[in-house]
Amino acid sequence: MNTITRLADRAMAQKPKTAGARDINSMSSNRPIKVIAVTGGKGGVGKTNMSVNLSIALAEMQRRVILMDADLGLANVDVLLGLQAKHTLADVLDGSMSLREVMLNGPGGIKIVPASSGVQQMTQLSPQEHASLINAFSEVSDQLDILMIDTAAGISDTVISFVQAAQEAIIVVCDEPSSITDAYALIKLLNAEHGVFRFRVIANMTRSTQEGINLFNKLNSVCDRFLDASLQYLGHVPFDENVRKAVQKRQPLMTFAPRSKAALSIRAMAQKIDQWPVQTTARGHLEFFLERLLQSASVSGY
């Protein structure tokens, strides 16, 4: 038996017996969910801390959150939280494990899909892996309110695929020229070439409320002038030593310093995110996200 046949057999064995063979069109999640990608262009602006802590803040509000780590870099979610992933998305893609078996229990009740080479593979899937991925997600789609995706720095195909497939793109920026130019380059690419037109902006590590607003205005005015994009300000997170201390302790800020200034503003942003309307059209469903992800893969992955 060759490898492909073996993988296909395993993928078939994974399929839930009651549901029969599922493909992307028959995946049966009835409730819409929010798929949010956290990105920003530049490394070190606070994307991972934001994804982790926003996820926990949303879980505090009784939302069921899966945080997908789409960054293989050094300071990824597992590292930040001192977690050790035994299995990875690669085990899901080859059909040998379910998503539930691979997910880690994170702080505050969030579930984490750990980073793995599987993430990059996700934009270059074979038909068998494709089937396994859809099966894996269809198993969890009914027990999920929010899928948060932490992306890598830069504008790789993987980053672009995840962001354009998500319903919401959160851009994290801080007040440094390189952060603003990298965020602009990312927004421009997503807008001009991938049809993303709404972006939510978080100003991180600000020294004052006004600094956050100024930062947003700077980015917004250049986007306004050159792009057909709509930027909306989600808020600012002050520079707060507690964030760095929490990272050192391998704890999320939300549990390490729940009443700190940064934690309070993250919680306020989570409240806003919770108010974003859920899309009741096809776009609001998990299968739509997967479909877009896989479509972009067939365009850019080969």
Q: Which residues contact Mg ion by CB under 5 A?
A: 47-48
CA 134 – CA 37 distance, rounded (Å): 19
Nearer to ligand ADP, 29 or 151 (CB): 151
CA 267 – CA 57 distance, rounded (Å): 6
Q: Which does 262 bind (CB under 5 to 8 A by kind): ligand ADP, Mg ion, none?
A: ligand ADP
Nearer to Mg ion, 47 or 111 (CB): 47
What are the C-alpha distances in Å from 17 to residues 22, 43, 290?
10, 44, 22
Which amino acid makes up residue 80? L
Nearer to ligand ADP, 198 or 250 (CB): 250
Q: Which does 253 bind (CB under 5 to 8 A by kind): Mg ion, ligand ADP, none?
A: none
Task: Tokens for 146, please give them.
Answer: 């929010």
CA 296 – CA 276 distance, rounded (Å): 25
Nearer to Mg ion, 47 or 63 (CB): 47
Q: Which does 237 bind (CB under 5 to 8 A by kind): Mg ion, ligand ADP, none?
A: ligand ADP
DSSP string for 123-152: TS--HHHHHHHHHHHHHHGGG-SEEEEEEP
Q: State in angstroms the smallest separation of the CB of 260 from ligand ADP.
A: 10
Which amino acid makes up residue 222? V
Q: Which does 240 bind (CB under 5 to 8 A by kind): Mg ion, ligand ADP, none?
A: ligand ADP
Nearer to ligand ADP, 27 or 262 (CB): 262
Contact 122, 297 (CB under 8 A): yes
Q: State in angstroms the smallest separation of the CB of 174 from Mg ion.
A: 13
Q: Which does 44 bind (CB under 5 to 8 A by kind): ligand ADP, Mg ion, none?
A: ligand ADP
Task: Tokens for 135, please give them.
Answer: 């099966």
Contact 145, 63 (CB under 8 A): yes
Q: State in angstroms the smallest separation of the CB of 80 from ligand ADP.
A: 7
Residues near ligand ADP, by CB under 6 A: 40, 43-49, 75, 153, 204-205, 237, 239-240, 243-244, 247, 262
